């Protein structure tokens, strides 16, 4: 696992959502969390390098997104409003 994790960090180098450099405490996120596939590292596309905060955010959002994908639209609207009101 450690070799695979280090390989992913070396080849990707950034948080794959924010595109910012990986920082200490980064996570190699399993895109397939099913127990049967959890230890399968044969397909590196099943993993993403994420900084700690983004990793936590992804886990929070998937709980809502799984049942209601429009949650992302509402989140985007909220963020746009935050920017709009911050610029006034």
User: pLDDT grade, residue 42 (50/70/90)?
Assistant: confident
- Return the C-alpha torsion angle 7, 13, 18, 21, nearest 10: 130
Question: What Å distances lie between residue 85 and 73, 74, 75, 81, CA to CA?
Answer: 18, 16, 15, 6
Whether residue 37 is predicted with pLDDT greater than 90 in this model: the reply is: no
pLDDT of residue 25: 95
Average pLDDT of the residues in 48-68 = 97
Contacts of 67 (CB under 8 A, 6+ apart): none
Instruction: Read off the pTM.
Output: 0.86
């Amino acid at each position: 696992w450690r070799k695979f994790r280090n390989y992913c960090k070396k080849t990707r180098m950034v948080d794959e959502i924010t595109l910012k450099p990986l920082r200490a405490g980064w996570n190699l996120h399993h895109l397939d969390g099913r127990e049967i596939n959890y230890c399968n590292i044969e397909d590196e596309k099943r993993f993403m390098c994420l900084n700690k905060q983004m990793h936590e955010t992804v886990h929070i959002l998937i709980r809502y997104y799984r049942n209601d994908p429009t949650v992302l639209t509402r989140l985007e609207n909220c963020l746009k409003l935050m920017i709009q009101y911050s610029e006034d």
